[in-house]
Structure formats: C-alpha cells, structure tokens
Amino acid sequence: SLQYAFPAKLSYKISYFLVLAIVPMRLLCNQGDIFLVIDNALSNISVILTTVHFLYFCRAIKFIGPFVLMIYTIIATDIIRFLLIYSIFLIGFSQSFYIIFTACQRENDILKAEGNTIGREFDNIMQSPVDALIRTFIMTIGEFMVLYRELAACPVDLMRNIGKGVFVMFELCVSILQFNLLIAMMTRTYETIFLTRKEWKRQWAQVILMLELSLSPRERLTALLSYSRPTGTNKQARSFVVSKKLDTRNLEEFDKQVQKEKLDMLKEEKRLLARRKKIESEAAGRPTTTMFKFLRAFAPSVE
C-alpha cells in the first residue's frame, strides 16, 4: 500500500493529529498536573515523528536513498522477527530471576528477624514481575554487574547456585547467540540492498509519484508527459526517464565494464543483422539453374 511504502510520510501525518491534540491539553494545564504530563508526552512524540519525515526526502538521493531503504527493511523484517524470538527468552528468564530473587528476599528477611546477618546484606532489585522484565532487558545490553552482585549476595546457597546457572544460560542464549543472529540478519539485508546499484532511481520515482498525489489530474498528466516516454508501440504504457549525461571519468570500473559489454553486444547484433541481410539479398538475386527449372516443370505431373 501507499502508506506502507512511505512510513516516514505516515508518521508525519500522525504528527498532525498529535499537534491538534496538544492544543486542548495546553489549555487544561492549569486544571491539573496530568494534563501537563500528557502535553509533554504528545509534544515529544510529535517532534520525533516530524523529524523522521526528513527520511522521506532522503530516499531520492543517490548516496543516502539505499541506506534509508535499509533502515525501513531492517525494522520491518529483521527487528520484528528478532523481537518475536527475543521476547520468548526475555519473559522466561525474567520470571525465573524473579522467583530466585523472591526466595532470596524471603530468606534474608528471616535472617534479619533472627539477627543472623552475615556479610553483605541482600537487596532485592526485582520487586515485581515487571521490574524483573525491565531489569533482564537492561542486562541484555551489557549492564549485568548489578544483577550478578546481588545474586552473589543471596543468603541461600542453593538459590544462589541456581541463579548463577540461569545467568550463564541467559548470557549464552540471548546476549551472545541471539544478538549475533540479529547482526547476521541485518548484514544480509544490508548486502542484498547494497548490491542493487540502481535502487536510488526507483526510490526517486516513488517520491515523484507520491508528490504527484497532491496535484490535480491535469497537472499530474502534464508532469507525467514531461518526465516519461512511451514504451514500445503502445502509447499508453510509459516508462520513467532519467536524463543525465554520463561522465566516463567518474564511472566506476564495474560501470565501465558493463558499458563496454553493452557496446560489444550492440556491435555484434549489428554485424549479424548486416550479414543476414546480405545473405537474403544474394539469395534473391541468384539466377535459377537448369535443374531447378526441370524439376519445377515436371512437378505437376509427379503430383
């Protein structure tokens, strides 16, 4: 669809409604702090969505367009697939840590009540399942020292050893395996789009078509005739034309090789066409032999 092809344009249109929603929130700020919080939240979101709109115009630039498309493709495919797998591990391991820290907190409270505190006091950093989920997510990006320090201070030896085992499994399955898998997927997407050397022209055409939607049908037809030409004999089918003078000094070696191969193929086609025309002309001007006349004369009697 149109909005799926231009997510930056869609985010820009969403910011319109957010700006309109800011107006009543701004007027109601003196009625309570909640309206001020909503006003600030809407303002922050609208600024971010408006800034993303610059990516829409960058798609038509030769040196930036493919990278913008890479960002869209990575977010729409690789990130979503990774999050689906990552969320399963995140929920499972976070609740496992929550149970371990709850058991450690219970034993720590018993020891404090009896006055048998030994060594460093345990501090439960996962008071609820939501806290465990957030703390485990923070641990995946490298901040795991706080969790491991509190885990090592657990007064229950069995739960402390189980927690260390779960910690090692989490680091292997998530921090090492899955994040390297995400990097591999993004690298594959990057290489696939980077090999499409003319992708920026297609993005340029899409931006032009999107801008034409704001024009009237007559103006749109005039603009279409100015930058397109008929394809073959069908005048209704038209193709996008890029009028640009090539400078062979700035062409890359690959482009030069492709251009040379195209010229060689064109010369070969012209040579074969000239040779075929020569053979046909010689066959048309060749005199008829006596044997051919004899067979032609007796052909009806044979039949």
- 295: pLDDT strictly greater than 60: no
What b/e readout covers 209-227, taking b as 16+ CB neighbours within 10 angstroms? eeeeeeeeeeeeeeeeeee
> pLDDT of 161-180, one tens digit each?
888 898 888 888 887 887 78
> According to the model, what pLDDT value does residue 302 have?
40
Top-ranked range on mean pLDDT: pick from 122-136, 177-191, 280-294:
122-136
> According to the model, what pLDDT value does residue 196 have?
63
Q: Which residues pair with 234 in a beta bridge?
A: 231
> According to the model, what pLDDT value does residue 44 have?
92
Confidence band, pLDDT 50/70/90 cuts, at residue 234? low
Q: What angle do CA 61, 66, 72 make, to 5 degrees?
A: 115
- 99: pLDDT strictly greater than 80: yes
Measured CA distances, 207 to 63, 104, 203, 254 (Å) = 16, 59, 6, 28
Confidence band, pLDDT 50/70/90 cuts, at residue 294? very low
| Contact by Cβ (8 Å): 56, 12 | yes
> pLDDT of 77-88, one tens digit each?
778 888 888 888
Structure tokens at 264: 């060689």
Q: Which residue has the higher pLDDT, 231 or 247?
A: 231
- Measure the CA–CA gap between 96 and 118, rounded to whole angstroms: 26
What b/e readout covers 258-270, taking b as 16+ CB neighbours within 10 angstroms? eeeeeeeeeeeee
Give the predicted TM-score (pTM) of the model: 0.53
Least confident of 30-39, 180-189, 207-216, 250-259: 250-259
- 303: pLDDT strictly greater than 50: no
Measured CA distances, 288 to 47, 103, 294, 303 (Å) = 87, 109, 11, 22
How far from each other are the two terminal CA atoms of the chain, in whole angstroms?
Answer: 68
> pLDDT of 189-232, one tens digit each?
777 766 665 666 666 777 777 777 777 888 877 877 777 777 66
- Measure the CA–CA gap between 274 and 180, rounded to whole angstroms: 59
The DSSP code sequence of 156-210 is -HHHHHHHHHHHHHHIIIIIIIIHHHHHHHHHHHHHHHHT-TTHHHHHHHHHHHH
Please tell me whether residue 213 adopts helix, strand or coil conformation: coil
Instruction: State how far Cα 151 lies from the chain centre.
Output: 39
**Residue-averaged pLDDT of the chain:** 77
| β-pairing verdict for 228-231 and 234-240 | antiparallel
Measured CA distances, 126 to 155, 158, 187, 270 (Å) = 16, 19, 36, 78
Structure tokens at 49: 């969505």
Least confident of 13-17, 142-146, 156-160, 201-205: 201-205
What is the rounded average pLDDT of the residues 92-119?
82
- 26: pLDDT strictly greater than 80: yes
